[in-house]
Structure 1
Amino acid sequence: MAVRPNTLKSRKWPALMLAVITLALLAYVIWRVDTSPGTDDAYAQADTIDVVPDVSGRIVEMAVKDNQRVNKGDLLFRVDPRPFEDELARAKASLVALDKQIALTRRVVTAQQYGADSVHALVERARVTAAQTAETLRRTQPLLAPGYVSAEDVDRVRTAQRAAEADLVAARLQAQQATSAVTGVDALVAQRDVVLADIALMQFRLDMTTVRAPFDGRVVSLKTSVGQFASALKPIFTLIDTRHWYVVANFRETELKNIRPGTPATVYLMSDTGKRFKGKVDSIGYGVLPDDGGLVLGGLPRVQRSINWVRVAQRFPVKILVDQPDAELFRIGASAVAQLNPQLNPQAANKPRS
């Protein structure tokens, strides 16, 4: 009977140690989750654009194929340039014809100006003659009373003076007519600016028949070929911007308190779990669509947060910019796993979010 209590006491120690170890492991796991949150609810993402022609026309050359990698400046496809070449040639021909018309008009204007100058010279001559006859009449009239001149002489001078005045009025009218007849080239010069604008527009349209890659990327969703009529602003295919790859990871709202832009991260794709990639948090989502009622806002990501009767914390997308991604491994929508390490960057973790 004296041995039994010692036996019971010796059996309690392993159970107590196991409980302590379990609590310690649980505390470590909770600390680890709290300080280094991770999730496998993640996927790869990249920016994309719809490649569209700026002009309509039939595709005469398709230089890429579906899922092909391209570099910035590479030819993607070409629209038939012949209609635009004809328009450009016609606009340039209009410019040549207009320049010739301007040159001819300038010669006509020069001749008209010479004529107007000649008429103005006649006006000056008539003015001098009229002044001279008026002065002659002024000197002759006082000589009539003493008998030095006859009344006939005075009448002759008066008639000459009136004729000179009439000639001056007629010359002035001719000068006004000649001046108003002088045309200009201002309207033609303004029309030339319009033609130059048309030429620039036609050249732009011709240049737009050749579509090149605006950045390094990968062609996807290509479902057409040579011979297809391409409409302006209608997508031909999609181009993935492979210069920057992201992993969008959905974290529980309870884990967001230590996550900041710049927080270091480690990610890997499910297609190759042996390759790890470094990255940093680019941004944190500030809105998702609630599935349990309330106001529904369009354009926000929808994340389910209720599982049957169990209510779980809402999850928000955290966008992680990947450093040196594998261009052959990353695909939009590929499953990923993300692990954040806020403790590796205390400044970023402690920085208040804007």
Structure 2
Amino acid sequence: MIKRYLITLLLLCSAGTVIFSYYQSYTNNPWTRDGQVSAHIVSITPRVTGQVINVYAEDNSQVKQGDLLFEIDPSIYKASYHKALATKRQAVALLAKAKNEEQRALNLEKRTPGAVPVLTLNNLNNAVETAVANVELAKANVEEAKLNLDYTKVYAPTNGYITNLNLRVGSQVVANSPVVALIDEDSFWVEGYFKETDLVGVNPQDTAYVTLMMHNDVQLKGEIKSIGYGIAKQDGSTGQALLPNVNPNFQWIRLAQRIPIKVKLDELPDNLQLRVGMTASIKIIK
């Protein structure tokens, strides 16, 4: 009987030791399964309105910075550019004419003082200044028309991955309205949400180990880049009749809030591709 009690006591002590060890490890090295892969999403937005005549990118394809993604019908913008060039040439000709008329009047005034009224000289000078301003305006219109013509070709602003591409030849795009999502391939990070009680002593540059659900046999190493400084308040938002919304809670339970932490990963295996939204587990080593 005593032997049985001793064995039971030893088993309880062993179990308590294991539990305490795990508790100490969890306390000293916070861990969460509430992690997710994130990256910067670049909204590809055309700068001009028109019909798409060519699409060079494919859905879920990788592109490099400067790659041509799609092209908008440039016909109307070519016409506007040529019109602006013609207006510029006309403005330059009018400037030359104004300068000639002013110079002629000045020469006549030098040969025969008083032959040209002062008001006429002032008007001729004003005409030259107006012509100069018209030339500058024409040059600006040419630059604007040239930019609009260049904007008919939309290029990738960064290296990344095209996703959810629904653009087709013949589609009508509108200026400043996003049409394609580009995931910046150089901006991936893992964001984890830790209980506030687990973040005591955790600082940026601490080491973190990440395990992806899709690749649970690979442990990735990284470091904490930042710890969130705030989260949205659940209570206090305005509800019906402009009264604050207050969620009921149990007085004997205080739930720890979740604080976001960003983890920048070190080198990745060649056969592992990060994808936005992937689930991850994160363990922080203090």
Partner of 1:30: 23
Letter of the 2:16 counterpart: L
- The corresponding residue for 2:259 is 316
Q: Structure 2 CA distance, aligned partners of 1:176 and 1:268?
A: 93
* Residue 255 (1) aligns with residue 248 (2): no
Secondary structure at 1:34 match in 2: helix
Deviation, 1:312, is 4.3
Contact 1:68–1:219 (Cα < 8 Å) also in 2 = yes
- The answer (yes or no) to whether the contact 1:53–1:232 under 8 Å persists in 2 is yes
Tell me the CA shift for residue 176 of structure 1. Answer: 6.3
Partner of 2:33: 40
Deviation at 1:328, TM superposition (A): 5.5
Query: Residues 1-150 of structure 1 correspond to what in structure 2 (within 5 A)?
Result: 8-120=1-113
Query: Are the equivalent residues in 1 in contact too, given 2:45–2:179 (CA < 8 A)?
Result: yes
Q: Are the equivalent residues in 1 in contact too, given 2:95–2:135 (CA < 8 A)?
A: no
Give the whole-Å Cα distance in 1 for the aligned partners of 2:185 and 2:107: 71
Conserved? CA contact 1:289–1:296, under 8 Å:
no
1:178–1:255 distance in 2 versus 1, CA, 3 Å? same
Q: CA deviation at 1:197?
A: 1.2
Equivalent AA in structure 1 for residue 259 of structure 2: F
Give % identity.
Answer: 26
TM-score by length of structure 1 reads 0.70
Greater shift after overlay, 327-336 or 219-228? 327-336
Which deviates more from structure 2 when the two are superposed, residues 180-189 or residues 261-270?
180-189
Counterpart of 1:333 in 2: which secondary structure?
A: coil
The match for 2:208 among 261, 265, 268 is 265
Residue 295 of structure 1 corresponds to 236
SS in 1 for 2:225: strand
**Is the CA contact 1:70–1:217 (under 8 Å) kept in the aligned structure 2?**
yes
Deviation at 1:233, TM superposition (A): 1.0
- SS of 2:112 mapped into structure 1: helix
| Secondary structure, aligned partner of 2:218 | strand
1:198 aligns with 2:191: no
CA contact (8 A) 1:38 1:340 kept: yes
Where structure 2 has 5 or more consecutive residues not aligned to the other structure, the ranges are 239-248
The structural deviation recorded for 1:177 is: 4.0
Question: Could you tell me whether the CA contact under 8 Å between 2:192 and 2:260 is conserved in 1?
Answer: yes
Change (3 A) 1:70 1:328: farther
Displacement of 1:34 in angstroms is 0.8
Distance (whole Å) between structure 2 residues aligned to residue 36 and residue 75 of structure 1: 47
CA-CA distance at 1:46 after TM superposition? 0.9
Q: Residues 295 and 222 from structure 1, CA distance in 2 versus in 1: closer, same or farther, beyond 3 angstroms?
A: same
The answer as to whether partners of 1:267 and 1:277 remain within 8 angstroms in 2 is yes
CA distance in 2: counterparts of 1:9 and 1:205, whole angstroms? 93
Q: Are the aligned partners of 2:54 and 2:71 in contact in 1 as well (CA < 8 Å)?
A: yes
TM-score (norm 2): 0.86
Hey, what does 1:277 align to over in structure 2?
Answer: 220
What are structure 1's unaligned runs of at least 5 residues?
Answer: 1-7, 121-174, 298-305, 343-354
Does structure 2 retain, via aligned residues, the 8 Å contact 1:45–1:332? yes
Q: Is the 8 A contact 1:54 1:208 kept in 2?
A: yes
Where is the helix percentage greater, Structure 1 or Structure 2? 1
Deviation at 1:245, TM superposition (A): 1.2
| Contact in 2 for aligned 1:44/1:332 (Cα 8 Å) | yes
Asked if the contact 2:108–2:115 (Cα under 8 Å) also holds between the matched residues in 1, the reply is no
Q: Are the aligned partners of 1:92 and 1:199 in contact in 2 as well (CA < 8 Å)?
A: yes
Q: How many residues align?
A: 270
Alignment CA distance shift 1:247-1:312 (3 Å) = same
Partner of 2:241: none
Q: Larger radius of gyration, structure 1 or 2? A: 1
Q: Is residue 220–residue 240 contact of structure 1 (8 Å, CA) maintained in 2?
A: yes
Instruction: Name which of 179, 182, 196 aligns with 1:236.
Output: 179
**Which residue, 116, 119, 124 being the options, matches 1:180?**
119
Cα deviation, 1:197-216, whole Å, max 9, x if unaligned, reads 11111122122221111111
Residue matched to 1:332: 276
